[in-house]
């Protein structure tokens, strides 16, 4: 069903015991319209039987206060307050495994809809997005500076406090162990593997053109500034390398 058809917006259903600050109706509509405006929306949401098959097969639903059925129902009934409320915490529980999409008899993709809600939460600079994504700032920094998401020197209990006690299982003498790998390019713990400078510069262009860097600026301005400096340096290095080839 196209979102351009008749509205299913529910009337206000307030929560008298909620401590959440009141959000203006206009803001709620703006957020929902941003979710709906995505090209994927009508593909991911076709209707909902409220059958609960998605929730029954969802791994996240087993461990968290989260239900893909609830997410789909909120969107299908255009429950603006419920959508906003779910974006404060629940949407970040999804593991993006898409088991739900494989099971839904209506061909919905609850996981895909969660992704749209997450992207919208980032676009609107919601605190939930900032809180959830903060631990990934070191990953983003590593990715921009080396082309690797993760390097061996990051895998320490201090570096991954959010992983819990199991990170101690990889707290090994990695500097020594990496020397045993036959490929010389892997004899470092600062990168997982070597990424070509041209590839890095091309990735920067992709991130700029697809709005990744705009999202980053919304979520973490300081990290954005650091990353822009690194990108400028890398681009200068690449230009120098090109000049050397011309000589
Ligand atoms: S499986 Fe599909 S139809 Fe059933 S509750 Fe989930 S989204 Fe709705
Ligand atoms: S994609 Fe998300 S909502 Fe769907 S089954 Fe996986 S964890 Fe659950």
Atom 8 of ligand 1 has which residue's CA nearest to it?
48
Q: What distance in Å separates the CA atoms of residue 176 and residue 217, rounded to the nearest whole number? A: 38
The pLDDT assigned to 169 comes to 64
Ligand of minimum distance to the alpha carbon of 50: 1
The pLDDT assigned to 4 comes to 47
Q: List pocket residues of ligand 2, CB cut-off 6 Å.
A: 58-60, 68, 94-100, 110-111, 114
The pLDDT assigned to 21 comes to 56
Q: What is the pLDDT of residues 67-108, one digit of tens each?
A: 999 999 999 999 999 999 999 999 999 999 999 999 999 999
Cβ within 8 Å of residue 147, ≥6 positions away: 191, 195, 196, 199, 200, 203
The model carries a pTM of 0.79
167: burial class by Cβ within 10 Å (0-12, 13-18, 19+)?
Answer: middle
Q: Which of 95, 102, 106, 118 to mutate to test the pocket of ligand 2 (most atoms within 8 A of CB)?
A: 95
Stated length of the chain? 247
Q: List pocket residues of ligand 1, CB cut-off 6 Å.
A: 48-54, 69, 72, 104-106, 108, 110
Report CA(68)–ligand 2 centroid distance (Å): 7
Query: Over the Cα atoms of the chain, what is R_g?
Result: 22
The pLDDT assigned to 108 comes to 97
- Which parts of the chain sit beneath pLDDT 70? 1-21, 161-162, 165-171
Q: Pick from 40, 117, 43: which is nearest to 82 by CA?
A: 117
The pLDDT assigned to 122 comes to 95
The pLDDT assigned to 1 comes to 45
Q: What distance in Å separates the CA atoms of residue 121 and residue 30, rounded to the nearest whole number? A: 12
Q: Quickly list H helices, the chain.
A: 25-37, 41-44, 53-57, 59-63, 68-76, 80-86, 99-103, 110-123, 127-133, 137-146, 174-179, 197-209, 212-219, 221-246
Q: Helix crossing, 197-209 with 212-219: angle to 10°?
A: 70
Ligand 1: atom nearest CA of 110 is 7
The pLDDT assigned to 152 comes to 84
């Amino acid at each position: 069903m196209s979102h351009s058809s008749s509205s299913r917006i529910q009337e206000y259903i307030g929560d008298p015991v909620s401590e959440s600050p009141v959000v203006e109706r206009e803001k709620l509509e703006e957020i929902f319209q941003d979710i709906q405006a995505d090209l994927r929306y009508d593909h991911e949401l076709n209707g909902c039987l409220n059958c609960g098959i998605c929730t029954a097969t969802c791994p996240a639903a087993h461990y968290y206060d989260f239900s893909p059925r609830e997410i789909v129902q909120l969107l299908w009934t255009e429950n603006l307050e419920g959508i906003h409320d779910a974006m404060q915490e629940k949407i970040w529980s999804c593991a993006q495994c898409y088991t739900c999409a494989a099971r839904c008899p209506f061909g919905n993709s609850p996981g895909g809809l969660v992704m749209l809600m997450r992207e919208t939460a980032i676009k609107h600079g919601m605190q939930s997005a900032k809180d959830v994504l903060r631990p990934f700032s070191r990953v983003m920094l590593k990715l921009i500076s080396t082309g690797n998401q993760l390097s061996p020197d990051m895998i320490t209990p201090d570096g991954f406090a959010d992983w819990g006690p199991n990170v101690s299982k990889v707290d090994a003498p990695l500097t020594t162990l990496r020397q045993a790998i036959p490929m010389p390019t892997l004899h470092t713990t600062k990168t997982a593997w070597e990424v070509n400078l041209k590839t890095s510069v091309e990735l920067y262009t992709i991130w700029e053109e697809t709005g990744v860097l705009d999202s980053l600026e919304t979520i973490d301005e300081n990290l954005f500034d650091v990353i822009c400096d690194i990108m400028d340096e890398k681009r200068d290095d690449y230009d120098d390398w090109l000049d050397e080839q011309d000589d």
